[in-house]
A and B are shown apart, each in its own frame.
Chain A
Amino acid sequence: DTAVSQTPKYLVTQMGNDKSIKCEQNLGHDTMYWYKQDSKKFLKIMFSYNNKELIINETVPNRFSPKSPDKAHLNLHINSLELGDSAVYFCASSQEVGNTIYFGEGSWLTVV
């Protein structure tokens, strides 16, 4: 059983499109995250939710909107995609805020 699963794994889309990445965790964790890893492999937090409540929003453009329908799911919607959005997006979860983070397999987004 996959602990943190995200879909799609690969996504190629045109500039200006809107796309979503879904994430689910079956670990019973309270906290979920979205991280972005750029071409230089720098892993940076974007958002964090604790029990469906947004607790971290790291100056991410408004085009990125996370949604947590329940504490096992955290989806990421991106409007008006730009070339610079091309990256790997990792969903993750932890038992509590600041605890060991478990990552999903990543979603490779390419904007052309």
Chain B
Amino acid sequence: GQNIDQPTEMTATEGAIVQINCTYQTSGFNGLFWYQQHAGEAPTFLSYNVLDGLEEKGRFSSFLSRSKGYSYLLLKELQMKDSASYLCAVRAPAWAYNTDKLIFGTGTRLQVFP
């Protein structure tokens, strides 16, 4: 089976820090992606974690704990343009699903207020 959970909505203030959590239960695991999707646009790649720990990329960081089936995306110094949906996606292995594939969570809609 497979289950990827994220909060549906979050709000934050410009300049603040926000953490978006993702928990997953999948048959096998080969890595976790975070995507950003602005309203009416395509998802765009933000980060990929395959080993435990924190990956930092500018204002955005992503953390992974494989033993806990948990990841988070940390957004610092929030800007209005960060208002978007953030999608967590698990890379599931071929042995479990016939082929490697990405399984997406339902996404977290983040609204940043001035």
Q: Is the CB of A101 within 8 A of B45?
A: yes
Known: A45-B101, A98-B101. A40 touches B41 (CB 8 A): no
Q: How far is the CB of B99 from chain A (nearest CB, A)?
A: 5
Shortest Cβ distance from residue A23 to the other chain B in the assembled complex, whole angstroms: 12
User: Among the listed stretches A11-19, A62-70, A78-86, A103-111, which one makes contact with chain B, having 4 or more residues with CB under 8 Å of it?
Assistant: A103-111
Is the interface on chain B under 10, 10 to 19, 20 to 34, or 35 or more residues?
Answer: 20 to 34
On whether the beta carbons of A105 and B42 are closer than 8 Å, the reply is yes
Could you tell me the distance between the alpha carbons of A21 and B30 in the complex, rounded to whole angstroms? Answer: 31
B41 touches A100 (CB 8 A): no
Q: Is A90 an interface residue (CB 8 A)?
A: yes
- Interchain CA distance A82-B85 in the complex, whole Å: 28
Beyond A42-B106, A97-B99, 6 additional pairs, beta carbon < 8 A: A43-B104, A98-B31, A98-B101, A101-B33, A101-B45, A105-B41
* 26 intermolecular pairs with C-beta atoms under 8 Å apart: A40-B106, A41-B37, A41-B85, A41-B109, A43-B43, A43-B87, A43-B104, A43-B107, A44-B104, A45-B103, A55-B98, A56-B98, A90-B42, A97-B94, A97-B100, A98-B31, A98-B91, A98-B94, A98-B99, A98-B100, A98-B102, A100-B33, A100-B45, A101-B33, A104-B42, A105-B41
Q: Which residues of B contact A (CB under 8 A)?
A: 30-31, 33, 37, 41-45, 48, 85, 87, 91, 93-94, 98-104, 106-107, 109
